[in-house]
């Protein structure tokens, strides 16, 4: 009798444990779907932008939603590992959502924001960016295995590329406020030129980060190196630089930080290549 009673109590406990596991297993999927919801929301707010007079509020929200999508993208993988529910389905779903949030949404912001740029060229740059983002995500799925430590990436990660484009949208209202303060100063005559320069410069930045996504340049995994790996002197300097930039220029620091991350690695690789070539030439001359 006691044995039957114990078994009857054990069944509900096991059932509760199974239900709890299933609940935790759903969390990573919900976070991933939150990513694509933010991407679609970004496209929706960017669609409200008027080509001639850009609405700073809608532009700011469109860019901000891409950053929120980045947070969801960062959390869903960690949640899947904590729930011990990593799967091929989750990886494919994550890539599909990233293609919308970090591929289509930034390209759409570019088209609606940089209207002074040449129309066909702007469209071509936006399409090229989307293609590079999709190729980057497909290559990441194929080349990344379960044993990968994720300490670095081959090519600029698509969230970082999207963040570089979205950073201009987030900083633009602050930029407009700054140049509006110059109306009564000697710089009033160059105020419209600065506005046009900001909107004309983004297509070149977008084209560059699109090409960097499909490159083989190594980029560090900032989150893993700062919070999971061993912190060194360079990491502390980067953190101090980021905090100082945010304190000094506020919203304007966002594009500065993302551009520094996107372009520092290729510039460093180019400098190393030039230095090695110069060293080999000097050795050849010495040997000759």
Selected residue with higher pLDDT from 241 and 5: 241
Give yes or no: residues 166 and 262 share one domain. no
286 assigned to some structural domain:
no
Looking at residue 133, its pLDDT comes to 96
Rounded mean pLDDT, 193-217:
88
Q: What are the φ/ψ torsions at residue 220 (nearest 5 degrees)?
A: -75, 150
160 and 256 both lie in a single domain: no
* Position 135 in a domain: yes
Same domain, 57 and 85: yes
5, pLDDT greater than 50 = no
235 in the same domain as 133: no
34 within domain boundaries: yes
**Residue 285 located in a structural domain:** no
Q: Which of 39-48, 113-122, 238-247, 261-270 has the lowest mean pLDDT?
A: 238-247
Residue 189 has pLDDT above 60, yes or no: no
The answer to whether position 280 is within a domain reads no
CA dihedral 108→111→113→118, nearest 10 degrees, is 170
Check: pTM over 0.95? Answer yes or no: no
Exposed/middle/buried for 226, CB within 10 Å: 0-12, 13-18, 19+? middle
Q: Could you give the CA distance from residue 161 to residue 102 in angstroms, rounded to a whole number? A: 8
Q: If DSSP codes are grouped into helix, strand and coil, which group holds residue 220? A: strand
Convert the pLDDT of each residue in 78-109 to its tens digit: 887 777 777 788 888 999 999 999 999 999 99
Residue 245 located in a structural domain: yes
**CATH code of residue 87:** 1.20.120.1760
pLDDT of residue 246 exceeding 50, the answer is yes
| 160-185 mean pLDDT | 81
Please give the mean pLDDT across all residues of the chain.
80
Count of structural domains within the chain: 2
Q: What is the pLDDT of residue 39?
A: 97
Contacts of 65 (CB under 8 A, 6+ apart): 38, 39, 41, 42, 45, 105
235 and 267, same domain (yes or no)? yes
Beta-carbon contacts of residue 64 (< 8 Å; ≥ 6 apart): 166, 170
Average pLDDT over residues 199-217: 93
246, 210: one domain = no
pLDDT band at 127; cut points 50, 70, 90: very high
Mean pLDDT of the region 270-283: 75
Q: Which helix (H) or strand (E) holds 71?
A: helix 56-82
**282 occurs within a structural domain:** no
Instruction: Specify if 9 maps to a domain.
Output: no
Residues 70, 194: one domain? yes
* Band of residue 272 on the pLDDT scale cut at 50, 70, 90: confident
pLDDT at 251: 67
Residue with tokens 């290559």: 139
Whether residues 125 and 233 fall in one domain: no
Please give the average per-residue pLDDT across 40-65, as a whole number: 86
- Whether residue 243 is found in the same domain as residue 172: no
Per the document, the length of the chain is 288
Residues 108, 85 share a domain: yes
Supply the range of the domain harboring residue 68: 19-143+155-216
pLDDT band at 179 (very low <50, low <70, confident <90, very high): low
For residues 168, 171, 177, 183, the Cα torsion angle rounded to the nearest 10 degrees is -40
Rounded mean pLDDT of 148-175?
Answer: 86
Tell me how far apart the alpha carbons of residues 123 and 125 are, in angstroms, rounded to a whole number. Answer: 5
pLDDT of residue 108: 96
Neighbours of 37 (CB within 10 A): 17
Claim to verify: residue 68 and residue 195 sit in the same structural domain: yes
CB 25 within 8 A of CB 70: no
**pLDDT at res. 159:** 94
- Parallel, antiparallel or unpaired: strands 218-220 and 152-154: antiparallel
- More confident: 279 or 62: 62
Note whether 231 and 166 are same-domain residues: no
Question: DSSP class of residue 84?
Answer: T
């Amino acid at each position: 009798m006691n044995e039957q009673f114990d078994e009857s109590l054990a069944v509900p406990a096991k059932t509760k444990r199974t239900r709890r596991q299933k609940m935790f297993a759903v969390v990573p999927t919900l976070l991933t779907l939150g990513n694509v919801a933010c991407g679609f929301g970004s496209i929706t707010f960017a669609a409200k932008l008027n080509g001639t007079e850009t609405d700073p509020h809608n532009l700011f929200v469109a860019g901000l939603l891409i950053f929120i999508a980045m947070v969801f993208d960062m959390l869903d993988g960690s949640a899947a590992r904590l729930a011990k529910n990593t799967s091929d389905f989750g990886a494919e779903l994550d890539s599909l959502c990233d293609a919308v949030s970090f591929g289509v949404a930034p390209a759409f912001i570019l088209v609606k924001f940089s209207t002074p740029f040449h129309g066909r060229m702007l469209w071509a740059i936006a399409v090229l960016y989307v293609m590079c983002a999709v190729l980057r995500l497909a290559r990441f799925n194929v080349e990344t295995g379960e044993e990968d430590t994720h300490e670095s990436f081959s090519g600029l990660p698509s969230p970082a590329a999207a963040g570089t484009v979205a950073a201009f949208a987030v900083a633009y209202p602050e930029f407009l406020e700054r140049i509006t303060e110059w109306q009564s100063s000697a710089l009033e005559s160059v105020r419209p030129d600065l506005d046009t320069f900001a909107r004309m410069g983004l297509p070149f930045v977008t084209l560059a980060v699109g090409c960097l996504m499909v490159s083989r340049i190594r980029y560090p995994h900032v989150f893993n190196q700062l919070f999971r790996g061993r912190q060194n002197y360079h990491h502390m300097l980067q953190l101090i630089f980021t905090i100082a930039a945010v304190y000094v220029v506020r919203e304007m620091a966002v594009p500065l930080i993302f551009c520094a991350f996107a372009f520092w690695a290729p510039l460093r690789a180019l400098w190393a290549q030039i230095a090695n070539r110069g060293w080999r030439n000097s050795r050849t001359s010495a040997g000759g």
